[in-house]
Amino acid sequence: MDIPRLHPDTIEEVKAKVDIIEVIGGHVVLKKRGKDYLGSCPFHQEKSPSFSVSPTKQMYYCFGCQAGGNAITFLMELGKQSFTEVVLDLARRYQVPVQTLEPEQRQELQRRLSQREQLYEIMAITASFYQHALNQPQGEKALTYLKEERTFSDETIQGFQLGYAPAGWETLSNYLIEQKNFPPQAIVSAGLAIARKDGNSYYDRFRDRLMIPICDLRSRVIGFGGRTLSDEQPKYLNSPETELFDKGNTLYGLDRAKDAISKTDRAVVVEGYFDVIALHAAGIDSAVAALGTALSLAQVKQLAKFTESKQIILNFDADKAGNIATERAIGAVFDLAYNNELQLRVVNLSAGKNADDLPIGKDADEFLKKNGHEKYLELLNRAPLWLDWQIEKAIKGKDLTQAEQYQDANQTIIKILQNITDLTTRTIYLKKSALLLSADDARMVPLLIETLQTAIKGLKPLPESKNGETNLPANRFNFIEEGQRQSSKYSTLEVIDYPEQIEEVNYGNETEERDKKQLEIAPVGIHPNQRLIERAEGLLLRIYLHYPIHRLTIIDALDSADLNFTLSHHRFLWEQIINRSSSGYQDSQPEEIDYLDDRLISKLQDSLVEDRVRASRVEHLFNLDEHTAEEIQRSPLVLRAAIACLEKFACEQKRKYYLNKLQSKDPEDLAKKVEYYQSFINIQKRLQELEKQRNVTITDLISFM
């Protein structure tokens, strides 16, 4: 449903009425500690409570995982909902009238929300109706199937709200229309009934089927899956797409599994409803299932929200159809998987063998029955990465001594390796593939590696300087200190952050165009100087956020020295601060900045709720632990040192510029050389002054105590 943009007044009224202690207290056991409340963080496992909630600031912060925000961001993170969804839920909870930007939109929104509420009510009543029917004589066959063939306990049957749709053509429709007084069109809209050709009567969509309710993340019934108890086709019938039910964006069992997924840091995706139920009944609560369709990218992204490591384990049936489903799932998340944004693994059920070396069970449910809970957990723990699964599958069952079969396996592996862009990962899998293709003949491995490299156009090494060291760009920091350079020509260290390349540098009247030639380089890490810069910038931002009295001083200091924040995430936050007016919400225009605004942090958190990636890089600055609070308590001293650190870095860049000009053999007039020399001397003097300002002595500390 496309929900119209909410009016800022609605958001403000919701925020004003919400009590963060009441909201979080519904999910976390909070104990009063001084003026604040303390509890165990719901976003990560911890032995000692470190989750702090402030009723005065209406904010929360975890000193363990650095999660923080207000009541709205808490519910967004906990339920993986959008900003608008959370605000609407809180508006209903605190009886706040919902306003949109246009009156006609407001009326349409209210109408559609009322319609959705009616559909939720119809689905809930229908689920109860099916549950009741299961325990009646007409549902005996379905109940016997669940208990004897599926071996589900009464507790499991009730817990998953399993039911039975009577065989009559109009049993449910008549119940909902005549006894519950719902309009026929609403029942059709819910996907439970179908209109006959005459348009005046309706018949039930589900008849003589075992019924499995499908729920959203809030455990509200939004659809059904029905399994036939006869030879009727299809064997499984799902609800159609409705206002509530979007099959491609829904995973069966996720409402029950999400907490276990977060706790175990992995999600298990199986093929069917009964696989999920069987796994949950066995205590493996992180299992979910796609709904009769191939696993989609949207479903995978939804799952990945609940696991920090982004580990998703596919466990489809151990047959040809299951292998095809696995390949389709891998194809759906191809880019995420190849870019290491997803830790995708595949369970191989055939890895569990009996005494005759035969697979024990073709699906998760059957495997559990024949082999048990512990053996299945072993399979999960040993589940290979999807690349390993694909490579091993390419070779499995082939006689590599036969040229045709060898060539078939070789070509399949080359196609897999061609898509690996990370050099280290590709190198690992080149060796693994060569070992498999060699049939354990170690003498063949080097030749096979070379052959595979040639087939995928090889790995192009980085350019080397005369002394054999890899050339790295001058504008990037080199984390590898002298004497510690890696011997490998392939560098795969992750770039955490570095100042963006400056295409043009202006010093006085001089302009230097930097060489824009693109070098073929590998990523490098962070120089220790950059860590110092990051710390200095972080201290400045913390002082600005938490000590309003120093805000104008910081702005004047930055302006007077012509400084800006170097690191991209700090620069992003600084731009948000400058653009944030005292009443800036949603689309309102920025007004004159109030440097003493004590609600600045709250406003920043609101503005960042839709940009969680960049927000995660800076939200730790919104909170102070005891150590940091003590550190910046002497704000004037810390300000002086931090500003000096940033200016020192800028001066060092200028010093390098003037030194290069002086050492250059380019013909320039004497006046220019004198100007460069004088500028160089001035920079040297300024650097000495800054070094004194940057260093903190015992006398300095005592003077600010």
Look up residue 400 and give its two tokens.
């590599």
Q: Give the residue extent of every domain in the chain.
A: 8-101, 102-245, 251-384, 399-442, 530-581+595-694
- Token look-up 């070509």 returns 411
Look up residue 149 and give its two tokens.
């063939």
pLDDT of res. 507? 37
pLDDT of res. 683? 82
pLDDT of res. 401? 81
Strands 267-270 and 311-315: parallel
Distance of alpha carbon 368 from alpha carbon 377, whole angstroms = 10
Q: Does the structure show a pLDDT above 80 at 410? A: yes
pLDDT of res. 584? 41
**CA-derived radius of gyration, the chain:** 32
Q: Find out if CATH 3.90.400.10 is the number for domain 8-101.
A: no
pLDDT of res. 490? 28
Letter string b/e over residues 131-166, b meaning 16 or more CB atoms within 10 A of that residue's CB? bebbbeeebeebbeebeeebebeeebbeebbbbbbb
Distance of alpha carbon 431 from alpha carbon 452, whole angstroms = 10
pLDDT digits (tens, 9 = 90+) for 297-338: 888 888 887 887 889 999 988 777 788 888 888 888 878 887
Instruction: Determine how many CB atoms are found less than 10 A away from the CB of residue 598.
Output: 10
| Three-state secondary structure call for residue 164 | strand
pLDDT of res. 669? 57
pLDDT digits (tens, 9 = 90+) for 148-185: 999 999 999 999 999 999 999 999 999 999 999 999 99
Q: What are the φ and ψ backbone dihedral angles of 648, each rounded to 5 degrees?
A: -60, -40
In whole angstroms, how far apart are CA 376 and each of 150, 220, 269, 344, 345? 17, 30, 14, 18, 15
Q: Does the structure show a pLDDT above 70 at 471? A: no
Q: Does the structure show a pLDDT above 70 at 510? A: no
pLDDT digits (tens, 9 = 90+) for 544-575: 888 888 888 888 888 888 888 888 888 888 88
**Chain CA centroid to CA 325, Å:** 24
Distance of alpha carbon 125 from alpha carbon 372, whole angstroms = 36
Q: What are the φ and ψ backbone dihedral angles of 22, each rounded to 5 degrees?
A: -70, -40
Helices 364-371 and 273-281 cross at an angle (nearest 10°) of 30
| Three-state secondary structure call for residue 412 | helix
Name the least confident of 13-17, 156-160, 386-390, 464-468. 464-468
pLDDT of res. 469? 37
What H or E segment, with its residue span, contains residue 660?
A: helix 635-663
The average pLDDT across 438-453 equals: 82
pLDDT digits (tens, 9 = 90+) for 25-53: 888 888 888 878 898 899 988 888 899 99
Q: Does the structure show a pLDDT above 80 at 526? A: no
Report the percentage of the chain scoring pLDDT > 90: 31
Helices (H), 333-363: 334-338
Q: How confident is the model at residue 632 (pLDDT cuts 50, 70, 90)?
A: low
pLDDT digits (tens, 9 = 90+) for 51-61: 999 887 889 99
Contacts of 59 by beta carbon, 8 Å cutoff, 6+ apart = 20, 53, 68, 69, 70, 601, 602, 605, 622, 623
How many contiguous H segments (helices) and E segments (strands) does the chain have? 29, 17
| pTM listed for this prediction | 0.57
First to last CA, the chain: 58
Letter string b/e over residues 92-108, b meaning 16 or more CB atoms within 10 A of that residue's CB? eeeebebbbeeeebbee
Q: Which residue has the higher pLDDT, 161 or 479?
A: 161
Question: How much is the mean pLDDT over the chain?
Answer: 78
Q: Tell me the residue type at 481.
A: E
Distance of alpha carbon 599 from alpha carbon 28, whole angstroms = 26
Q: Does the structure show a pLDDT above 70 at 356? A: no
In whole angstroms, how far apart are CA 112 and each of 6, 109, 119, 247, 585? 15, 5, 10, 20, 26
Q: Does the structure show a pLDDT above 90 at 147? A: yes
pLDDT of res. 582? 43
The average pLDDT across 578-584 equals: 57
pLDDT of res. 425? 86
Q: Find out if CATH 3.40.1360.10 is the number for domain 251-384.
A: yes
Residues found in the chain: 705
In whole angstroms, how far apart are CA 175 and each of 102, 124, 126, 505, 579? 39, 14, 9, 78, 58
Count Cα atoms within 13 angstroms, Cβ side, for 266. 18
> Which CATH superfamily is 102-245 part of?
DNA primase, catalytic core, N-terminal domain (3.90.980.10)
Enumerate long-range contacts of 410-418, CB under 8 Å, 24 or more apart: 410/437, 413/437, 413/452, 414/452, 414/455, 414/456, 416/387, 416/390, 416/391, 417/452, 417/456, 418/456
Look up residue 226 and give its two tokens.
């029905």
pLDDT digits (tens, 9 = 90+) for 662-692: 776 565 555 666 677 777 778 888 887 777 6
pLDDT of res. 432? 92
Q: Does the structure show a pLDDT above 90 at 702? A: no
Name the least confident of 70-74, 140-144, 611-615, 638-642. 611-615
Distance of alpha carbon 412 from alpha carbon 140, whole angstroms = 51
The average pLDDT across 233-251 equals: 92
The average pLDDT across 396-407 equals: 86
Highest mean pLDDT (candidates 340-344, 350-354, 522-526, 656-660) = 340-344
Strand order in the sheet with 36-39: 31-33, 36-39, 51-54, 59-62, 68-69
Enumerate long-range contacts of 618-622, CB under 8 Å, 24 or more apart: 618/541, 618/569, 618/570, 618/572, 618/573, 619/66, 619/67, 619/68, 619/69, 620/66, 620/68, 621/538, 621/541, 621/542, 621/545, 621/573, 622/59, 622/61, 622/68, 622/545
